[in-house]
Structure 1
């Protein structure tokens, strides 16, 4: 259904011509994007013609889906005003800004938090602006130029309605505890687990009022640090559940908050998360840039373990870019830095997951991308040596990588056996990313579909693949 006509929408017609998208093509893209969000849309070329020639405005999230479809084709964010649909709510620009002033940064972050409190609604569905790696350009540039604000002291005459007055260390400690708890649940159950989904709610109801209160520079730095960690976690969980648009917005705000915290390693960690997302979405070269930006700014600042992790993320991107030599150098650097790390180095709490088994697991993925199954098997054996209940999702991902390596080595029976273990683990968590890995494995096994063991695995995986995202 569409609203009343208001005259030709010349802006939409112009940008469709610029993007080289036909009316039928746009309709198909919008329907597909809607399907990904659980919506059943039946637009066709006639619908698009009405939008363009008569200025009819589709209702619901359709305007945002139109912007998403065009954004994907152009490779950059397309705001609604550029396609003549600026009078729809909410604005797709929310969460994409990286303000220079701290006060404006608070406004930008809290505006994002207010839009949503749980997956399946709010920004997760209504803000359908497509992921565009170019949206990271300005935030990264501004962070590289000046990764720390001079002061974050905030004094307000009276508490904002529903907010705090004077913020103290005890208030910040509650956010830090929430971040630690969320990290544990996310690793064990996946980004879609209901406990993990409480992070956006915590940002909206707990962190936002604190950011709008009064605080000294010392307390403010701690507040921004804790909120940045929670915001990055919200982005990571969105990424894990396939909500790439939401993840991008949370990452940008997390980087801005890390700047206010004057925490350069944390900012590097956000960049590493951006890098992994960009690489996963097929932008390997940009993934390399993001990882290397984290490395450059953290030289002589971050701990050895932190630098090791940043090099590992760099290796992941280089492998996707098919740069075997560069990937090998990055992996060697990651291993070297990790060997130099010591228990008393003061590693940040958000890096507690990182040890040699994670390095081995990611090295295996690197060699999988470089199509070197022998190396994959070598590193996967180490990565799977000591599986724990603490990192269930990681264990599932590693099993899929191991199954692919067995398949590429010509060991079909072993591939199916390991794949069955992976499907069992994937069924215990809520992670679209893990499901995607399983789906890729089954696609690789498709040529052997007549084999009884493969058929059995396909049946085992059916409920997992049929489950709603």
Structure 2
């Protein structure tokens, strides 16, 4: 019998080239970062520099979702999103590839799509996806802009849904928001939102309810789905976050809640801009604003303009960013009486605008304007908004570094680490990474070396 010989796979030259572009990134440091990302996704891996070498030289492909984690680790080094094709692993496939990405036109189909997603989202093989594809937003955004509200929301099915059921879901959403702000998206209480969606909201959506009750049911469920997406996004689970946002947008449409749909779409835009797609974020915020004008409270529209400003800043368009900020401020002035405002937008006020404006001008490399806006922002209490305080310290610290004030930049950076070491939020750590990058001119300073060692040991941030 003739013997057969397994042909070795060719080297993965694409991966090797991408690693070469990461100045100073060793195989050891990349393996360490992949292991960190795996832990965040609920996995335990023990990759080493030898693993990276095998993927490059022998063309080996690790099990899913490691290709996505590797692309993310390289993207962090390059400062931009990296696709699987760029690292020679385009054929790596994720299970349940389409679950949660549907935006059905029919409300009944929308309920089935959402509940199918919720039943799968807690499976470990699905949760590990950490990539983000902005193209997946195209159909949902288009269909919501065409028709942001369904005609009817009544349903005849199982047990009758009553006000007590709605109150329970609203209480769950309120509690999740508080815990997320204080402890970050990785807290056990924030993550319980997905269980609430699967075990409480899903059965109610199959029940019997009138049009009025149905609209409120769909709206509060959309709010819960947006919260689940936000907490997933906060801990770096970008793919699952994206799917929660899509379902939230569809459920807001089912409830005829245009202003909640506007808020969800604005949140989706925020994810897009923070994942490196500012132009798409601009389109999404401008579309949300145009569609919801006259149908949403001024404070809701003001927040949409704020995120538009942040997207323009990431796109390095200072004039457009300043214009959007001014529009947001004018809308906030109109919202002072807080009449007919949803509870989920009560966080946005002039102090929050000032704090975000500091980030806008930091992104525009205008430290003087950034620090001036920060001076207008009210002091925030760490016990209430722990994550936000830590991120703001890192933002302002970076602005001081842009202004060549090393001492103040380091002082604020250390304060940020004090706070963020207690918060489970990969998004917050991105702000520390940005501060770390701004320290480049002072790498030889002893105090800078101490800070770099501290963020490596306490936060797991590579130098």
Q: Same fold per TM (> 0.5)?
A: yes
Contact 1:27 1:48 in 2 (8 A): no
**Does residue 432 of the first structure (1) align with residue 426 of the second (2)?**
yes
Cα drift, residue 449 of structure 1: 3.0
**Does residue 115 of the first structure (1) align with residue 120 of the second (2)?**
yes
**Does residue 241 of the first structure (1) align with residue 246 of the second (2)?**
no
Per-residue CA distance 1:91-111 (angstroms, 9 max, x = gap): 211111100111111111111
What's the counterpart of residue 124 of structure 1? 127
Distance 1:172 1:59 in 2: 42
Distance 1:271 1:221 in 2: 19
What's the counterpart of residue 14 of structure 2? 25
Cα drift, residue 410 of structure 1: 1.5
Per-residue CA distance 1:286-331 (angstroms, 9 max, x = gap): 0101111110011111112111111111100011111111111101
Contact 1:235 1:247 in 2 (8 A): yes
Cα drift, residue 266 of structure 1: 0.4
Contact 1:191 1:236 in 2 (8 A): yes
What's the counterpart of residue 280 of structure 1? 274
Distance 1:465 1:27 in 2: 28
Contact 1:435 1:464 in 2 (8 A): no
**Does residue 410 of the first structure (1) align with residue 404 of the second (2)?**
yes
Contact 2:455 2:461 in 1 (8 A): no
Distance 2:276 2:365 in 1: 17
Cα drift, residue 23 of structure 1: 3.9
CA 467–369 in structure 1, closer or farther in 2 if over 3 Å, else same: closer
What's the counterpart of residue 22 of structure 2? none
Contact 2:173 2:224 in 1 (8 A): yes
What's the counterpart of residue 24 of structure 2? none
Contact 1:106 1:211 in 2 (8 A): yes
Shifted more, 180-189 versus 430-439: the winner is 430-439
Distance 2:120 2:70 in 1: 20
Cα drift, residue 25 of structure 1: 3.1
What's the counterpart of residue 190 of structure 2? 196
**Does residue 169 of the first structure (1) align with residue 163 of the second (2)?**
yes
Distance 1:406 1:84 in 2: 43
Distance 2:452 2:275 in 1: 26
CA 105–459 in structure 1, closer or farther in 2 if over 3 Å, else same: same
User: Equivalent of 2:362, from 357, 365, 368?
Assistant: 368
What is the count of residue pairs matched by the alignment? 426
Aligned ranges 1:345-384 → 2 under 5 Å: 345-384=339-378
Distance 2:126 2:378 in 1: 36
Shifted more, 37-46 versus 373-382: the winner is 37-46
Cα drift, residue 419 of structure 1: 1.1
Per-residue CA distance 1:252-286 (angstroms, 9 max, x = gap): 01000000010011001111111111111110100
CA 467–107 in structure 1, closer or farther in 2 if over 3 Å, else same: farther
CA 212–327 in structure 1, closer or farther in 2 if over 3 Å, else same: same
Contact 1:363 1:379 in 2 (8 A): yes
Contact 1:316 1:327 in 2 (8 A): yes
Distance 1:270 1:299 in 2: 15
Flag structure 2 segments of 5+ consecutive residues without an equivalent.
Answer: 1-5, 20-29, 40-44, 75-80
CA 374–62 in structure 1, closer or farther in 2 if over 3 Å, else same: closer
TM-score (norm: length of structure 1): 0.82
What's the counterpart of residue 104 of structure 1? 109
What's the counterpart of residue 183 of structure 1? 177
Distance 2:309 2:383 in 1: 27
**Does residue 214 of the first structure (1) align with residue 215 of the second (2)?**
no
